[in-house]
């Protein structure tokens, strides 16, 4: 018995699309050593759960809502090298001796949402670390140098004035 | 014979017992009835500021709703009697139903399966257009299902997809809902299965959006959104190519799985009657 197909069936509305569910589970734009596209390979991460802190009575005492995502930074071939160095610098407090970067979250009461929060954090941190370092322009450097010079001149001027005031208070020998 | 009184009393013996349903009103004692909108004299009982030469409170506008109360207008319940409603069903309840074998996860789940459990009920007379799957219990949800609901938010979609399932949001007009939520009662009517109507103007955007897994959305875009959601919530997407159950979907004009619109189900003789007229068949496919 052939399946019922009306004029609004999906193969008529979208003739170019494949109507069966995904057969290809590889991502369209995976992250590589050249560029971080925002895609994180989930099998390279290690997700563990533990109990959260804070108020909540029996529920917080018994449910594992805190999520820790571990990833080994140096062996991550999906993050560019320069980004890795910058991450090492920025998040040195979260990276342990073995080189594992630990990202934790106990933002919500639900474990699933805390996992999502960890993923969001990783993505944001890597994106931030991928951005080029701020190098001030020549005009800015010149402005800073001039400001410092003027400040020094002012400071010495004030010093001279103060000195005159103080010496005028001393008795004339 | 005798006097009128005696004749009447003689009649009484053969007439039925006097009761409230064989009395007629006295034509000489008619109470005056006023039509709606017609002036009728009313008794003035209480005296207000008007009758006592006092000042009205600040902002009074002669009796109509004053400006400071009317603004801002909060129309939360405006036309609530005419708006569609979707009674909620939590993921926790769904998991419970599956664990108690009230629902078979090996078959596609739709509104009929949920209503057949008798644990979840809807009433189309109250403008209930289907089921709204909520995210309470999204963490405890572990079943792999192919489920069709009428409304579901992102965490619910993520909870179902991370367990390897499939969720679709589909629209049913009220006649289709009446048929779908109590199929046996509908078949007993002997009416042909209705052609499911397309969503109303305000609902089209929701049901054509791949983010909501709408049944009228582009399947290619739905796949892309599945990838995005898997990345957002941190799980790996399973491959559905080896699972034929996960690919079963209803046609947008179909109400029941396996049955076409226009068919008449005869429960008594255990038969299905199909229309033969080509025009009628074309109507049900338009």
Please give the backbone phi and psi of residue A138, each rounded to the nearest 5 degrees, phi first. Answer: -60, -40
pLDDT of amino acid B5: 93
Question: What is the 3-class SS of B212-281, one letter each residue?
Answer: HCECCCCHHHHHHHHHHHHHHHCCCCCCCCCCHHHHCCCCCCCCCCCCCCCCEEECCCCEEECCCCHHHH
Weakest mean pLDDT among A18-32, A93-107, B96-110: A18-32
Substitution target from B231, B248, B261 for chain A, most A beta carbons within 10 A: B231
pTM: 0.81
What average pLDDT does the segment B64-68 reach? 96
Average pLDDT along chain B: 94
Per-residue pLDDT at A172? 79
Quote the percentage of chain A above a pLDDT of 70.
97
Q: Is the pLDDT confidence value at B186 over 90? A: yes
> Distance from B279 to chain A by nearest Cα, in Å?
14
Q: What is the pLDDT at residue B130?
A: 97
End-to-end CA distance of chain B: 82
- Residues B204, B191, B168, CA angle at the centre, nearest 5°? 30
Contact B261, B283 (CB under 8 A): no
Instruction: Determine the pLDDT at residue A29.
Output: 85
Q: Given an 8 Å threshold on Cβ–Cβ distance, is A21 in contact with B166?
A: yes
Of A29, A66, A37, which Cα lies nearest the Cα of A50?
Answer: A66
Digit-coded pLDDT (tens) for B3-54: 999 999 999 899 999 899 889 888 899 888 999 999 999 999 999 999 999 9
Query: Over the stretch B228-285, which tens digit does the pLDDT of each residue have?
Result: 999 999 999 887 767 888 889 999 999 999 999 999 999 999 999 999 999 999 999 9
Please say if the pLDDT value at position B161 is more than 90. yes
Mean pLDDT of the region B155-176: 96
Output the pLDDT for position A22.
60
- Whether residue B282 lies within 8 A of chain A, CB to CB, comes out as no
CB atoms < 10 A from the CB of A173, how many? 3
Backbone phi, psi, residue B230, to 5°: -60, -40
**pLDDT in the model for residue B165:** 94
According to the model, what pLDDT value does residue A24 have?
64
* Nearest-CB residue to A115 (from B224, B233, B284): B233
The shortest CB-CB distance from B232 to any of A10, A27, A116 is to A116
Whether A103 has its CB under 8 Å from any CB of chain B: the answer is no
* Per-residue pLDDT at A21: 66
What's the gap in Å between the CA of B242 and the closest CA on chain A?
Answer: 8
What average pLDDT does this structure show over A5-15? Answer: 93
Q: What is the mean pLDDT of residues A73-78?
A: 94
Amino acid A134: pLDDT: 93
pLDDT band at A3 (very low <50, low <70, confident <90, very high): confident
Going by pLDDT thresholds of 50, 70 and 90, the confidence category of residue A23 is low
- A132-152 per-position pLDDT tens digit: 999 999 999 999 999 999 999
Residue B163 DSSP class = T
Residue B216 and residue A120: Cβ atoms within 8 Å?
Answer: no
The residue of chain A nearest to residue B255, with distances taken between CA atoms, is: A4
């Amino acid at each position: 018995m052939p399946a019922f197909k009306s004029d609004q069936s999906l193969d008529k509305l979208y003739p170019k699309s494949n109507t069966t569910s995904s057969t290809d589970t590889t991502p369209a734009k995976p992250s590589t050593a050249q560029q971080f596209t925002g895609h994180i390979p989930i099998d390279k991460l290690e997700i563990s759960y533990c109990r959260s802190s804070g108020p909540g009575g029996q529920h917080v005492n018994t449910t594992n809502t805190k999520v820790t995502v571990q990833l080994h930074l140096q062996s991550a071939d999906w993050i560019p090298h320069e980004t890795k160095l910058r991450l090492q610098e920025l998040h040195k407090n979260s990276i342990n001796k073995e080189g594992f970067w630990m990202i934790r979250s106990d933002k919500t009461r639900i474990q699933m949402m805390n996992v999502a929060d960890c993923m969001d954090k990783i993505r944001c941190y890597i994106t931030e670390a991928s951005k080029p370092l701020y190098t001030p322009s020549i005009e800015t450097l010149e402005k800073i140098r001039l400001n410092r010079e003027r400040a020094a001149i002012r400071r010495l001027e004030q010093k001279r004035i103060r000195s005159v005031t103080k010496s005028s208070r001393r008795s004339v020998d | 014979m005798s006097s009128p009184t005696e004749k009447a009393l003689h009649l009484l013996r053969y007439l039925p017992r006097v009761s409230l349903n064989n009395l007629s009103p006295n034509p000489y004692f008619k109470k005056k009835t006023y039509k709606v909108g017609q002036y009728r004299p009313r008794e003035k009982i209480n005296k207000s500021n008007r009758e006592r030469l006092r000042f009205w409170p600040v902002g009074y506008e002669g009796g109509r709703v004053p400006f400071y109360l009317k603004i801002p207008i909060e129309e939360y319940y405006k036309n609530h009697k005419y708006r569609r409603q979707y009674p909620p069903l939590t993921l926790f309840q769904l998991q419970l139903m599956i664990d108690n074998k009230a629902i078979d996860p090996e078959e596609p789940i739709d509104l009929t399966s949920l209503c057949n459990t008798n644990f979840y009920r809807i009433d189309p007379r109250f403008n209930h257009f289907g089921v709204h799957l909520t995210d309470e219990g999204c963490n405890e949800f572990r079943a792999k299902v192919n489920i069709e609901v009428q409304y579901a938010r992102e965490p619910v979609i993520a909870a179902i997809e991370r367990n390897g399932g499939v969720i679709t949001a589909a629209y049913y007009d009220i006649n289709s809902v009446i048929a779908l939520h109590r199929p046996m009662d509908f078949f007993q009517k002997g009416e042909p299965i209705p052609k499911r109507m397309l969503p109303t103007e305000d609902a089209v955007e929701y049901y054509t959006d791949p983010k909501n897994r709408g049944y009228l959305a582009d399947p290619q875009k739905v796949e892309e959104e599945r990838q995005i959601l898997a990345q957002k919530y941190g799980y790996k997407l399973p491959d559905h190519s080896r699972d034929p159950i996960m690919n079963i979907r209803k046609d947008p004009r179909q109400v029941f799985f396996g049955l076409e619109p226009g068919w008449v189900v005869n429960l008594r003789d255990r038969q299905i009657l199909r229309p033969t007229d080509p025009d009628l068949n074309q109507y049900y496919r338009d």
